[in-house]
Amino acid sequence: MKHLECFDIILNSETNRIFAGTVLSGHLVIALTVPIRIGQLVVAFTGEMRTKWVDKVSENIFDSVEPIVNFKTQMYLNERGTDDPVEPGNYSLPFQFTLPLHLPSSFQAEFGFIRYVCFATATILPGQTCSMATTKQCKEFKVEKEIDIVDVVRFQDLRHVGRQRPVQAEECFELIGCCRKQGRIEALIRLDEGVFLVGDTILAKLEIQNCSRRRPLRRCSLFLLQEALFHAQSFHGTTSSNRTLVKVLDVATLQLPHPGDRVSQNVELHIPQNTQPSSLDAPLIRLRYRLKLDLGDSCELILPIDIASIKKNKPALFNALAEGFNENMVLTSKEQATLFADSTPPPIASLKSLTCRAIAIKFVSINFGSDCSFGKNFSLKCQKPSFNIVVALEDDLWNWIKEAVNELQAWLEKIASLFVDLVFEDVSGYLMQFIGKIHWRRGCIEVDEVRTVEAIINTDEICPRFAFQLFCAYAMVEKFELISVYYLRQLEFTLPSHPLYHFWFYVIFKQWNVFNELAITTRMLVSNVFTWAMYHGFVELTEFLWCRMNQSQLEMSCVIHWNRFCKNATNGRVFAYLCNKLCQRNENSICRMTIACFFRTVQRRGFREGSSLLAFLLINGCAILKARLFEAKGFEVLRSVVKHFDFRLYRILELSISPDQLEKAIQTLRPHFTKEEFNFFRSAHRRHQFT
């Protein structure tokens, strides 16, 4: 239309490449030469995923469409709701759309595409214009601009794949020629890590050994491949089909070694800047990447890798800094009770905290059986109830309820470990009748196990067999007199094979001096029950055995299993007891083993897994272990906490480490802090002032 001189979309971004989770903004530019009545002016941002192809054998048409986003905004050139003609002139209307955090990256291929479009439509109403021309019907004008969206795929998003550590692939290939074997070729690809950033250079180490009788005349190649997987339903939705396209992003050519030789060489492959990251969740189109070593004659070695789009999530940092540091939301009441064990009054002393604790315990005791699923795959299914109170107090109360449910669930699963011969669901149904007998420790959400067991034993509903199992697990030696010898003999043959019951039957019927025997079988009997008590968190039984075992038994039972026990990061009370006792005997060895276990976990599994272990060690470890762990490798613990902006761990450090030691570490690392890390300290640090 000659009177609509300009109708275009101009984005504020210099390129059409936009990251998911950001703001897509721009201007709708309109230039009019005459007055025009515009009825509707809409700017929209849409995205869809589509796969389509025709099967050459069955001639079925496979076509599937999956909408991704659909944002629209209404715009006006005159007063809202009027159809008055718009005066001639140049108009620039701003617009913006906040994109979701995760959007599949734009992609185009033979069997499908992922496409995002920002478009604007203008509806011209019929009416008189200044050029004396009459528009008899509505006309619609449309302008669109395709947007290249890049999904926000971080390194930590790909951590579940397990490739953020050295990865490798190796294979041995048999060479066959002239109807007989000519030997074999052994090949290996090794990478320092399996996750890379767009634009990175992949440094692959190749090791090839030629064990054939003759030198191959061919050359081998290392490919960086992009593999696109397509899925579609038939036109009537009765069948489905898949297609795969492979694209070579980079290739390096190598020469095979001479017969009997083994060569090692480093090969570089470059990831192009416009490469899409690995798909996190895509129903129709999925992208994945791999390295392929092609030795010819169908001898191929494949090593999967992943590609991320960004390495750090800077917006998350600034959001965390903006939200501030809420100490009460960081630590649970059980963790606070452990860290404030020597404080007076106890950490939960306010009227609000005491009230929330009482209501949470009462609510859980009444509703646990009906609203929660009890089992190994536990999840809190009950919805947040309406307490008819202010929102802030309601949220605090709901957090207390969730903490109480988790604590109760953990204790019931611990008791269920005694029933090794029964189905887990049957055990849970039996234990639910004792929910009302649960006793809680003062000042926190934690089950008082000894008082709870005594209350359960005194009930009429408990069977003698379950009572005997509780006596064994909690080392209630004086309670064995309540059970007749004849019934104990019967239990010896009816109870399942278990180190706990083997130990106690040996003690009851043979001799109580079992700890001083020199026989290997007897010593293993004591060691097995002690190890079982360690891993299942029965601190009362652990203390009972510790006071009676000799030095050699303790070393065999504790030191040998210490690395595995630390990596589990469970059973805090048992860990606290053993750490205190072992450090009194040999603090250098125990601290060295624990610190090595922590840094090994961080190196192999990343900081996310290591942070859980670090919090466990700082909360439940003894003072000697905390101090040495904090000082290890030049205060590497503090450096990692600040680097990952972890408010919770920093709060635990403040409560676990002495102020002088923390001040010394901060002064040592302060010159090496970046601006973002410095801002983290300004927000989170309570005891030290930065200038």
Q: Residues 186, 208: contact at Cβ < 8 Å?
A: yes
Average pLDDT over residues 178-204: 80
Return the bridge partners of 255, or none: 219
Q: What is the pLDDT of residue 526?
A: 81
Q: What is the pLDDT of residue 177?
A: 58
Q: Which two tokens stand for residue 227?
A: 């593999």
- CA 225, CA 292: separation in Å to the nearest integer? 7
Q: Which residues contact 21 (CB under 8 A, 6 or more apart)?
A: 99, 100, 101, 102, 152, 315
Return the bridge partners of 140, or none: 123
Q: Where does CATH 2.60.40.640 sit in the chain?
A: 4-129+137-151, 156-308
- CA 262, CA 211: separation in Å to the nearest integer? 9
Q: What is the pLDDT of residue 691?
A: 32
Average pLDDT over residues 73-98: 79
Phi first, then psi: what are they for 111, rounded to 5°? Answer: -100, 5
HSE-up (13 A, CA, CB side) for residue 259: 9
Q: What is the pLDDT of residue 216?
A: 55
Above pLDDT 90, what percent of the chain?
A: 8
Average pLDDT over residues 469-487: 85
CATH topology of domain 156-308: Immunoglobulin-like (2.60.40)
Average pLDDT over residues 644-661: 84
Q: What is the pLDDT of residue 240?
A: 84
Q: What is the pLDDT of residue 76?
A: 80
Q: Which two tokens stand for residue 317?
A: 């940092």
Q: Please state, rounded to an integer, the average pLDDT across all residues of the chain.
A: 77
Q: Among 128-142, 205-219, 364-378, 578-592, whose mean pLDDT is lowest?
A: 364-378
How far is residue 10 from each of residues 15, 94, 143, measured CA to CA in Å? 11, 10, 11
Q: Residues 401, 363: contact at Cβ < 8 Å?
A: yes
- CA 216, CA 208: separation in Å to the nearest integer? 13
Taking each helix axis from N to C end, the angle separating 391-416 and 424-431, rounded to the nearest 10 degrees, works out to: 120
How far is residue 62 from each of residues 53, 150, 229, 239, 334, measured CA to CA in Å? 5, 27, 14, 9, 57
Which class for 375: exposed (0-12), middle (13-18), buried (19 or more C-beta within 10 A)? middle
Show the CA angle centred on residue 430, arms to residues 427 and 434, nearest 5°. Answer: 125
HSE-up (13 A, CA, CB side) for residue 88: 10
DSSP secondary structure string for all residues of 65-117: EEEEEEEEEEE-SSSTT--PPBPSEEEEEEEEEE--S--PPPEEETTEEEEEE
pLDDT, tens digit (0-9, with 9 covering 90-100), for 23-49 = 888 888 888 888 888 878 899 999 999
- CA 74, CA 64: separation in Å to the nearest integer? 30
pLDDT, tens digit (0-9, with 9 covering 90-100), for 396-428 = 677 777 777 778 878 888 888 888 766 656 676
Average pLDDT over residues 609-635: 87
Q: What is the pLDDT of residue 345?
A: 42
**Amino acid at site 400:** W
Q: Which two tokens stand for residue 220?
A: 């081998």
| CA neighbor of 480 nearest in space, from 448, 451, 512 | 512
pTM above 0.75, yes or no: no
DSSP collapsed to 3 states, 249-284:
EEEEEEECCCCCCEEEEEEEEECCCCCCCCCCCCCC
Q: What is the pLDDT of residue 525?
A: 78
Confidence of residue 214 (pLDDT cuts 50, 70, 90): low
CATH topology of domain 4-129+137-151: Immunoglobulin-like (2.60.40)
**Amino acid at site 179:** C
Average pLDDT over residues 443-465: 84
Phi first, then psi: what are they for 422, rounded to 5°? Answer: -115, 155
In terms of phi and psi (left: phi > 0; alpha: psi -120 to 50; beta: otherwise), the region of 501 is alpha
Q: What is the pLDDT of residue 319?
A: 41
Q: Given a cut of 60, is residue 80 above it in pLDDT?
A: no
**In this structure, what is the dihedral angle of CA atoms 402, 404, 405, 408, given to the nearest 10 degrees?**
160
Q: Which two tokens stand for residue 533?
A: 């008590």
More confident residue, 250 or 347: 250
Q: What is the pLDDT of residue 23?
A: 82
Q: What is the pLDDT of residue 352?
A: 58
Confidence of residue 200 (pLDDT cuts 50, 70, 90): confident
Q: Residues 480, 518: contact at Cβ < 8 Å?
A: no
- Sole residue written with tokens 């006071």: 547
With b meaning 16 or more CB within 10 Å and e meaning fewer, what string describes 222-240? Answer: bbbbbebbbbbbbeeeeee
For residue 484, the SS3 value is: coil
Average pLDDT over residues 482-499: 83
Q: Residues 369, 435: contact at Cβ < 8 Å?
A: yes
Q: Given a cut of 90, is residue 274 above it in pLDDT?
A: no
Q: Given a cut of 90, is residue 113 above it in pLDDT?
A: yes
Confidence of residue 678 (pLDDT cuts 50, 70, 90): confident
Q: Residues 222, 291: contact at Cβ < 8 Å?
A: yes
DSSP secondary structure string for all residues of 389-419: S-HHHHHHHHHHHHHHHHHHHHHHHHHHTT-
Average pLDDT over residues 45-69: 89
Show the CA angle centred on residue 517, arms to residues 514 and 521, nearest 5°. Answer: 85
Q: Which two tokens stand for residue 404?
A: 């109480």
Q: Given a cut of 50, is residue 634 above it in pLDDT?
A: yes
Confidence of residue 114 (pLDDT cuts 50, 70, 90): very high
For residue 513, the SS3 value is: helix
Above pLDDT 70, what percent of the chain?
A: 76
Q: Which two tokens stand for residue 18?
A: 């936009």
Helix, strand, coil percentages, rounded to 5, for the chain: 40, 30, 30
pLDDT, tens digit (0-9, with 9 covering 90-100), for 314-329 = 443 334 333 333 433 4
Q: What is the pLDDT of residue 157?
A: 65
Q: Among 113-127, 390-404, 590-604, 668-682, whose mean pLDDT is lowest?
A: 390-404
Confidence of residue 159 (pLDDT cuts 50, 70, 90): low
Q: Using alpha carbons only, how large is the chain's radius of gyration in Å?
A: 34
- CA 204, CA 222: separation in Å to the nearest integer? 9
